[in-house]
């Protein structure tokens, strides 16, 4: 059990460090001049237009999802202040967990949009920019997931205490 805990602790430290180092590496590589695309066919402009609309829609959906979650969290927090309800697990923590889950979804949607945008005739600079964006958002997502797991573990511990006592 201790070996697994030590292994998990090492992985929890190494993953963010590796992502940060990858991000720094991509930033140092991106100093080159822009290149032209390798393939320029007759359908490329049409495909770029369609992909542009799809990625814009994906980004709007991500913004809408996060915006609705923020409004829901504000309403929940105001309701909490007005009603003054208390639970074993802090109610604010539950609001944070709910928002964290939605933020991870929003990050995934924006990463998907960035990947799709870069899929059409990318240049070396486009790929490096995408890599930096994906690494940064993955790092944010990683820390959000850690927070969510810790909050859920506290929630389960509180439920077990309530059932036992």
pLDDT tens, residue by residue, 22-50: 766 766 765 555 455 445 667 777 888 88
Q: Is residue 126 part of a domain?
A: yes
Q: Is residue 111 part of a domain?
A: yes
Q: Is residue 127 part of a domain?
A: yes
Q: Is residue 13 part of a domain?
A: no
- Which of the pair, 17 or 47, is modelled with greater confidence? 47
Domain membership of residue 116 as a residue range: 44-160
Q: Is residue 14 part of a domain?
A: no
Q: What does pTM read for this prediction?
A: 0.64
Q: Is residue 59 part of a domain?
A: yes
Question: How many domains does the chain fold into?
Answer: 1
The count of other CB atoms within 10 Å of the CB of residue 110 is: 20
Q: Is residue 63 part of a domain?
A: yes
State residue 80's pLDDT score. 84
Give the C-alpha separation, 106 to 144, whole Å.
12
Mean pLDDT, the chain, integer: 77
DSSP code of 42?
A: T
Q: Is residue 16 part of a domain?
A: no
pLDDT tens, residue by residue, 87-118: 555 777 788 888 888 988 888 898 888 888 88
State the angle between helix axes of 44-83 and 91-119 in degrees (0 to 180), rounded to the nearest 10: 180
């Amino acid at each position: 059990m201790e070996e697994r805990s030590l292994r998990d602790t090492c992985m929890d430290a190494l993953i963010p460090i590796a992502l940060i180092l990858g991000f720094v590496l991509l930033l140092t590589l991106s100093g080159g001049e822009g290149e032209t695309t390798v393939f320029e066919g007759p359908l490329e402009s049409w495909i770029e237009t369609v992909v542009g609309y799809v990625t814009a829609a994906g980004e709007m959906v991500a913004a809408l999802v996060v915006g609705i979650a923020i409004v829901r969290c504000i309403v929940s927090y105001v309701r909490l202040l007005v009603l003054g309800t208390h639970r074993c697990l802090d109610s604010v923590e539950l609001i944070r967990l709910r928002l964290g889950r939605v933020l991870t979804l929003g990050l995934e949607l924006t990463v998907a949009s960035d990947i799709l945008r870069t899929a059409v005739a990318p240049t070396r600079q486009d790929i490096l920019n995408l890599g930096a964006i994906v690494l940064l958002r993955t790092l944010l997502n990683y820390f959000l997931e850690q927070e969510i797991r810790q909050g859920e573990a506290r929630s389960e511990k509180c439920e077990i205490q309530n059932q036992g006592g």
